[in-house]
Structure 1
């Protein structure tokens, strides 16, 4: 079975999911399902969430943009969805796509119908699905905000968690253990390839595995399940994190989660012992580690902190070929 005859489900949010969806498109699958976090409370999304009591549209908009086709019409829509109004008035900072999604949700009376309508407008082949059908909040237990480093303080809100000067120890969702979007579960059940990550670890990746039904769907799946790790630790929420610690934190938050492969950028400066520690940490999730070149490189040869869609697509296709052959 080639990737041209498979369904791919990609879980994440923000810029990390954007890059993964670009990679998934280059696999030329039958269908792509973007399963997106819904806890954003900053910027345009946060304003619309508070004013209209809707699922924050920003990460959904970015996924729609990533799935827009490469023809002139598709790229016009991709650019328009991402365009932000300037100035200092009421519209300043709002993304056109956020307003379009919010408006369609009011007109059609349903957020999924609004997302599907934008998909029709852009001519995209994939589908964008909220992780759950309600806006969520993230609350973190953070150390280092007091003189005593052992004291934990709660920090609530995705933006606050992402920018805290303390060290995030654990996160949970409010409300706790929400019901998954049935359409997202269906997409996972029908997937031949499932990807999780990269992205902001505590605010874009971990929220998915804090939904028990999603963890169950991933862990029971016969699909190839690929965890894509970040290229580096992020200032703020994962400052100072090693690759190994990213995996330990994921396993701590979702001990029942099972994946098959963990993709780590081959050109990270890792010693042999560090690679062995990463392999052992991945084994907690039932996975093997794949070290490969997935980093985007600028024209001057400088490595960027962004996954290269073409390289990531090559890795996914190769892993899927091996997976099919082994079975």
Structure 2
């Protein structure tokens, strides 16, 4: 562990000012990912700006019916919150699918969105990794890549985003609230994370020094018709091999609102825009779901060892959509 400066912030403004005053700083919330990366030598911050005591730890309903989740809300509290469970079940299910109970007690909403890939080449400083050190190459591309991306990757990086929560937020049309030296702004959760392109070192669209202050779930995505499902190597404490979050609303026998996102297939949660487009206005039949999902996954480019992810993601999506659709009556 290398020496660093520690600053405890008592307000959002104080936190961003402290970050700006210490080039190379990092924000510290629950620390469940950052501290691990510091121990591995992947992250070497000059300063830690501790934000875990900021008054951003509540879940509140807004006047328009939306739900605002503070960035410091612990994952365990978020998953158990009655309004989240009743109105946005996909989010509660996604959070409970991630990590252990002990980690969920410490991890925060903002920190979950900022966690970095679990690619072993990224985590091992002796291996080449363009995400960790641009220009060194991607060790996974010709190496071990069973868990890596099949959608949206580049020759620079084939890593996947590890978050379960982010997949649900993308499908639910959530927005991420940010605050920096230039003030406050909001970014759609589906656009918050980046594809690697030529700059895989940039995980998100967050600007230098910006702090996540909260996440807003729109009233329009509320209701019982949402769900999350994850496939993994073991029943607990494992990152996804593939996952799916879906929101499905039916009116007069046709789909009038749909959100579909895949996890563990790309550098970011993959919002299935092609599938959504063909499902809107269609009857919620098995044939319609199959057509939509197959159209979306046709863009996949499996690598040597991860072609299994495509049929796995397909089965997960069809299962989730089928469960959300109303039963067929005769």
TM bin, normalised by shorter chain, reads under 0.3
- Of Structure 1 and Structure 2, the greater helix share is in 1
